[in-house]
Structure 1
Amino acid sequence: MSFDEQIGRVVKIFITGKDPRSLRTVELDNWTGVAITGQPEFFKKALEAEVLARSCVYLLIKSGAEDDLPEIYVGESDDFSQRYTNGKFPIEFDTFLIFTSKDDNLTRAHVKWLEEKLWAILKGNSGKAVVANANKPTSSNLPRADVATMRTYLGNMIYVLEALGYDLFSVKERTSASAAGQVEQQNDEAQNLVLDLYATLPKRIDDRAYLRYEDGAYVLISGSKINARITESLPSNVRKLREQLIEDGGLIEAGDHMELTKDIPFSKPSPASALVKGRSSTGYQDWLRVTDGVPLGAVLGIAAAIREVV
């Protein structure tokens, strides 16, 4: 095997019922951590799992529409089996993910550290999710050796979340989540495709925002022009993102429009174009390739057709 040959990892998913949507236990090779995930109707069943009587860090996720962002609550508990027994949750959700350890080495201090770091990462990726926590979680002061161990644990958490299809992290975070010493090789043409795209403000074709598609990820570029007006059709979580960007200086007034002052990563093109246009948007139609004005959907369709031929 050559050094640059692609190396993979094994993710094991155990489904606890006949229905593939039932409660699932997820494990990763060479990791003592474990995740338990499912839909809300399986939450009480999850509380019966012996491992959840330990310290845990968890996510409650409410999925967004195609042109909106998901909402996520990040929490921790020293005994998750006693958490939410009254059924009162901080947000409505359609998926829960609970991370703990198969041994007793994960402590309350560890999960508080993990909670704060995970919260900070998700807040930094504001174009991929809206974080529902009203306040920043309190971290813990761990010894250096424990910090190193928890960084590895966090990387494995990110790896499992991405493997389950939750595109919540940047390309850098996804790459750093790979096991040490492993070399990743991208053979998929879709991953190697790089596109520079633009969208215009409503009724103002000379005012543009720019989106870059690379490594399977979307980034709304700093300096992009954003519509100063919004309509009722603007998705609720994109509206929250807009308000957050204005509050922290990421979006500023610039005459008769607004302007983005930093790059914003997105999981999908439609929330990005909704932010730009101030209304509901179909990103695959509203984002156009800079070189020829072909819609993103048509470009990706062409790319898919080429892959099938090859």
Structure 2
Amino acid sequence: MKIFITGQDLRSLRTVELDNWTGVAITGQPEFFKKALEDEVLSRSCVYLLIRSSADDDLPEIYAGESDDFSQRYTSGKFPIEFDTFLIFTSKDDNLTRAHVKWLERELWSILKGNSGKVLVANTNKPTGSNLPRADIATMRTYLSNMIYVLEALGYDLFSVQERTSASPSSAKPVEDPVAGGDGLSLNLYSTLPRRPDDRAFLRYENGAYTLMSGSKINAKITDSLPANVRKLRQQLIDDGELVAHGDYLELMRDIPFSKPSPASALVKGRSSTGYMDWAREIDNMPLGAILGIAATGQLHDDPAQ
């Protein structure tokens, strides 16, 4: 991977390329947006992401879009969401067409919607996509895999383990969790509902990935401190029939991947939460934060229950 930084600030405008890939990504913070539009490659068809970061116990928000001439797309400065990072993917040649980026937009949107515990998708409607010949679909799947690889390498944990591993070039190692170090640490964790110690939710931690398990009990009540995007996720799960009422609690009907433990415990408890304290190991009740602290020193490698 090659990253070219414009200016002396590491957070400024960056151009990202991969060997043997005609694609290119341009990313930066909002103050560098106008500068990005000066790049001639953005007069070509593009797919782009606008990302708004979040507090530790909330979910980031993301908007996925496409344009056949991005240099003209936001000249008015009216954006669909407020954002602190933009990422624009295009091609160094003219082989990426409007039909291609519409296909990429829909596929990327679908993947992100499927990872609802990691990110809140801001798009109001599902992208229309496009119908491509089989050969073009194969080419765009490779392009999409490279997009995922670039995003993960830049630190955006928006995808499942399977998605990010399959996107990694065969010559490169999968992106690993900076805390666990990808050392194979596996944990079975639980958290109880407020004032209901017998009602529990269960979280699986493995190789830096968190999964809130199907069958977990979720607090039926919420407070004003529940982070905004976790609140939206909760309502989305209820609307989709994936969070079902059972008297004094709700039951989760499918596994949900999370990037961090705190949004998962906030969903469970119905309030703001510190996941490193509110998740504990089933075998000995040790808090997650303490376990990861020991693991970081190399003194702990596995759940004793495994």
Deviation at 1:92, TM superposition (A): 0.2
Deviation at 1:187, TM superposition (A): 9.6
Deviation track 1:94-145 (CA, whole Å, cap 9, x = no partner) reads: 0000000000000000000000000000000000000000000011000000
> 1:211 is aligned with what amino acid?
L
Would the aligned equivalents of 1:190 and 1:303 in 2 still touch at CA under 8 Å? no
The answer on 1:248 being equivalent to 2:240 is: yes
Deviation track 1:256-307 (CA, whole Å, cap 9, x = no partner) reads: 1000000000000000000000000000000000100000000000001126
The answer on 1:262 being equivalent to 2:254 is: yes
Among 91, 94, 97, the residue aligned to 2:87: 97
Which residue does 1:291 correspond to in 2? 283
Which residue does 2:303 correspond to in 1? none
RMSD: 1.5
Which residue does 2:143 correspond to in 1? 153
SS at the partner of 2:297?
Answer: helix
Which residue does 1:12 correspond to in 2? 2
Deviation at 1:190, TM superposition (A): 3.7
- Give the whole-Å Cα distance in 2 for the aligned partners of 1:73 and 1:306: 39
Would the aligned equivalents of 1:36 and 1:99 in 2 still touch at CA under 8 Å? yes
Which residue does 1:8 correspond to in 2? none
Q: TM-score with structure 2 length normalisation?
A: 0.94
The answer on 1:64 being equivalent to 2:54 is: yes
Which residue does 1:27 correspond to in 2? 17
Would the aligned equivalents of 2:164 and 2:175 in 1 still touch at CA under 8 Å? no
Cα distance change of structure 1 residues 205 and 255 upon mapping to structure 2, 3 Å threshold: same
Gapped regions of structure 2 (runs ≥ 5): 301-306
SS at the partner of 2:8?
Answer: coil
Q: Percent identity?
A: 78
Which residue does 2:292 correspond to in 1? 300
> 2:149 is aligned with what amino acid?
Y
Would the aligned equivalents of 2:176 and 2:207 in 1 still touch at CA under 8 Å? no
> 2:110 is aligned with what amino acid?
A
Which residue does 1:7 correspond to in 2? none
Match runs of 1:89-238 below 5 Å = 89-179=79-169, 181-182=170-171, 184=173, 190-191=181-182, 192-238=184-230
Would the aligned equivalents of 2:165 and 2:174 in 1 still touch at CA under 8 Å? no
Runs of 4+ in 1 over 6 A off after TM superposition: 185-189
Deviation at 1:224, TM superposition (A): 0.1
Q: TM-score with structure 1 length normalisation?
A: 0.93
Deviation at 1:31, TM superposition (A): 0.6
SS at the partner of 1:226?
Answer: strand
SS at the partner of 1:97?
Answer: strand
Would the aligned equivalents of 1:112 and 1:140 in 2 still touch at CA under 8 Å? yes
Gapped regions of structure 1 (runs ≥ 5): 1-10
Among 70, 79, 88, the residue aligned to 1:80: 70
SS at the partner of 1:200?
Answer: strand
Among 239, 244, 249, the residue aligned to 2:231: 239
Deviation at 1:216, TM superposition (A): 0.8
Which residue does 2:31 correspond to in 1? 41
Aligned length: 297
Cα distance change of structure 1 residues 231 and 138 upon mapping to structure 2, 3 Å threshold: same
Deviation at 1:178, TM superposition (A): 1.9
- Give the whole-Å Cα distance in 2 for the aligned partners of 1:124 and 1:70: 15
Would the aligned equivalents of 2:115 and 2:257 in 1 still touch at CA under 8 Å? yes
SS at the partner of 2:276?
Answer: helix
Would the aligned equivalents of 2:12 and 2:29 in 1 still touch at CA under 8 Å? yes
Deviation at 1:184, TM superposition (A): 4.5
Would the aligned equivalents of 2:153 and 2:175 in 1 still touch at CA under 8 Å? no
Which residue does 2:41 correspond to in 1? 51
- Give the whole-Å Cα distance in 2 for the aligned partners of 1:243 and 1:186: 31
SS at the partner of 1:306?
Answer: coil
> 1:129 is aligned with what amino acid?
V
- Give the whole-Å Cα distance in 2 for the aligned partners of 1:185 and 1:25: 21
- Give the whole-Å Cα distance in 2 for the aligned partners of 1:186 and 1:168: 12
- Give the whole-Å Cα distance in 2 for the aligned partners of 1:252 and 1:12: 47
Cα distance change of structure 1 residues 141 and 185 upon mapping to structure 2, 3 Å threshold: closer
